C-alpha cells in the first residue's frame, strides 16, 4: 500500500502502486505486507535524526519488522518504507533521471532493505541484485 502524506511535490501514485505490486511479487512478499509512505523533507529529517542519528532529510528509509535480518519465509507484515518526494526530485535532477524513475528506484531500494539486504555491509550483494531487478523491471 502507498500513502501520500505530503503536499510539497505532486506524485502520480497509481503508476507507482502498479510498480510496487510488481516488486512485491518479485520479492515474494505477502499481500499487504509493506506500507510505503511519502512524507515531507521535514518529517524525513526527523526520522533520519531519530533512527540513524544523521542530520537532514534522506530519500528513503526502511523499517523492517524483523530488525532487518533475512528469513527464509516473509512474516505476514514485513515493514514500512518512508520516501521523501522532495529529496527524490532533487536526486532525480542530480542523476539525470525522471522523477517517476527515481521514485520507482527508491521503492525497489526500500523493499530490498525490508528483504534483509544491507548495502553497507554485504560486499555488493544488494547492489548487484538491485541492478538486476532494475533491468528486469524496466527501471533505468
Q: What is the CATH number of the domain that holds 93?
A: 3.40.390.30
Three-class HEC string of 19-70: HHHHHHHHCCCCCCCEEEEECCHHHHHHHHHHHHCCCCCCCEEEEECCCCCC
Regarding pTM above 0.85, the answer is yes
- Residue 8, domain member (yes or no): yes
- Structural domain boundaries enclosing 47: 2-134
- Residue 139, domain member (yes or no): no
Counted domains in the chain = 1
Give me the pLDDT at residue 121, please. 80
Give me the pLDDT at residue 78, please. 93
- Residue 104, domain member (yes or no): yes
Mean pLDDT by 10 residues, the chain (140 residues): 96 97 95 96 97 96 78 78 98 96 97 89 87 92
- Residue 117, domain member (yes or no): yes
User: C-alpha cell of 74?
Assistant: 516473509
- Residue 110, domain member (yes or no): yes
- Residue 140, domain member (yes or no): no
Give me the pLDDT at residue 69, please. 58
Amino acid at each position: 500500500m502507498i500513502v501520500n502524506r505530503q503536499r510539497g511535490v505532486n506524485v502520480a501514485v497509481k503508476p507507482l502502486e502498479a510498480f510496487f505490486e510488481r516488486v512485491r511479487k518479485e520479492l515474494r512478499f505477502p499481500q499487504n505486507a509493506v506500507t510505503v509512505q511519502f512524507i515531507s523533507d521535514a518529517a524525513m529529517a526527523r526520522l533520519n535524526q531519530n533512527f540513524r542519528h544523521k542530520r537532514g532529510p534522506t530519500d528513503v528509509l526502511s523499517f523492517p519488522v524483523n530488525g532487518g535480518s533475512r528469513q527464509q519465509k516473509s512474516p505476514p507484515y514485513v515493514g514500512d518504507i518512508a520516501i521523501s518526494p522532495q529529496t527524490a526530485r532533487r536526486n532525480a535532477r542530480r542523476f539525470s533521471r525522471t522523477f517517476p524513475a527515481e521514485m520507482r528506484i527508491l521503492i525497489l531500494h526500500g523493499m530490498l532493505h525490508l528483504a534483509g539486504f544491507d548495502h553497507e555491509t554485504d560486499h555488493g550483494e544488494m547492489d548487484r541484485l538491485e541492478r538486476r531487478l532494475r533491468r528486469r523491471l524496466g527501471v533505468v
